[in-house]
Chains A and B, each alone.
Chain A
């Protein structure tokens, strides 16, 4: 099993959680980072009645070449933030894909034995709480995902965070950068050959 080389191939990602977990922000940060490195990106959010109270998700495609369909049928990577989304999207991944999952809120059960995918279990909500802001769990997961795939440089994500958090939100830049770092570290530890 090997992950895709995202510098040369198209990478299709589904990101999902409940509204308010920063699912759409995660997707936008990822797109902005990849875009700043000259890649083609598409970002397709779920919208409207689906959002209020329910789950939110977005489809992100990153590619060195022109992207046709922005819809992701079988993802190369899933980033899952809560249990309802895990149930909904657990099979929307190709064999050999990568699942980055918030294990603070998701129990994997026998998933790893029934699915041929690389699983990166990140207790994102707990870790974010340790950093002092549960809302940065999304950026923590992004950090882990980036480290695992090398889909873009860390610098680009740092820059995207600064770009997105302006005005009143700019005071959250620091905690988000910390979350990014924590996610990176966790992924590095998890990915070390045992």
Chain B
């Protein structure tokens, strides 16, 4: 099964009952899989007239208390940003899968990590954040999408699954049996009709002076809690490492290949830290390793976006370098090894 199909399947197993999307390559397999399966499994599928409409359909479905998802690729996600800001402001759970492609503008459909800023900084207007999970295998496409629904309901916040064209398009064997129907979350805030209870209002507007600041403080407290409890990363061969590579998604897979190479082809022992949550970012984990290693190499398929977070985490404890490819190009294992040798050999 392809990564895109796995994401759709993971969503349905997490109890997703509403999907709205608009076609865009390289995530068309998600929308096709949803169109095919969701109606047969008791859910609702809508091909929206645009990404703008799709994200606002989610606003409605989520306000009604139903687990819901949309998916798109970079230009489409740009269009969704206003809606995502509204979801965050109104504290509505929703899952957004972004199988990103190369920009800016129409760019091309090659795999890219150029949406790192858009995804981790909030993306739209105002002060908000969305937890973002970065799968690097087809298995994780299913598992992280499933997990995204749990996080979304737990924190009443939109959650992004941040993949790229490579993990979306590739096929691998997938195990799904462990993705059991989840325990339903109570949603006393949902709009169901005010029968036998005070009415509910879903909104982000706070017109009374001072109220909006209070609302923002509450949101920030929630984000602080997410930062404390939801950081996820995978460390490989980090304990003994002289040099650390930081990479996520597709780049992490390629870097992982390099770590497995015989040491004579590398400058000493190389470890890999792979952020699984891009936000919240594994700052503490990177800082700890930065105390011990000679340097860090960040590998990204963009002009250098995550490297800014790595530098903030390292805070000058050791040098931080960047290996980047742009415009849909993917770094090769050899390039990574050569760069490591050139920097630390």
Contact = CB atoms under 8 A, between A and B. Distances in A.
Interface of A: 28, 31, 35, 40-45, 47-49, 67-71, 73
Contacts, number: 51
A71 B254 contact: yes
Given A69-B254, A73-B332, A43 B170 contact: yes
B330 interface: yes
Given A69-B253, A69-B257, A44 B334 contact: no
B253 A70 contact: yes
Interface residues of B, number: 20
A73 B166 CA distance: 15
Given A47-B25, A48-B26, A69 B256 contact: yes
Given A47-B169, A48-B109, 16 more contacts: A35-B173, A41-B173, A42-B171, A44-B170, A48-B25, A48-B26, A49-B108, A68-B253, A68-B257, A68-B260, A69-B254, A69-B256, A70-B172, A70-B253, A71-B330, A73-B333
Contact of A31 (B25, B171, B260): B171
Given A42-B170, A70-B170, A71-B330, A47 B109 contact: yes
Main SS of the interface on chain A? Answer: mixed
Nearest to A74: B334
Complex A-B, nearest 8 residue pairs according to Cβ-Cβ distance, in ascending order: A68-B257, A69-B257, A48-B109, A43-B171, A68-B256, A44-B170, A69-B254, A48-B25
Contact of B26 (A28, A31, A47): A47
Contacts of A70: 166, 170, 172, 253
Interface of B: 25-26, 108-109, 165-166, 169-173, 253-254, 256-257, 260, 330, 332-334
Nearest to B110: A48
Main SS of the interface on chain B? Answer: mixed
Contacts of A69: 253-254, 256-257, 333
B140 to A, nearest CB: 13
Contacts of B173: 35, 40-41
Contacts of B257: 68-69
12 contacts: A41-B172, A41-B173, A45-B169, A47-B25, A47-B165, A48-B26, A68-B253, A68-B257, A69-B257, A69-B333, A70-B253, A73-B334
Nearest to B111: A47
B337 to A, nearest CB: 11
A19 B112 CA distance: 24
Contacts of A35: 173
A78 B270 CA distance: 32
A35 to B, nearest CB: 5
Q: Which of B25, B166, B173, B334 has the most CB of A within 10 A?
A: B173
Q: Which of B26, B171, B332, B334 has the most CB of A within 10 A?
A: B171
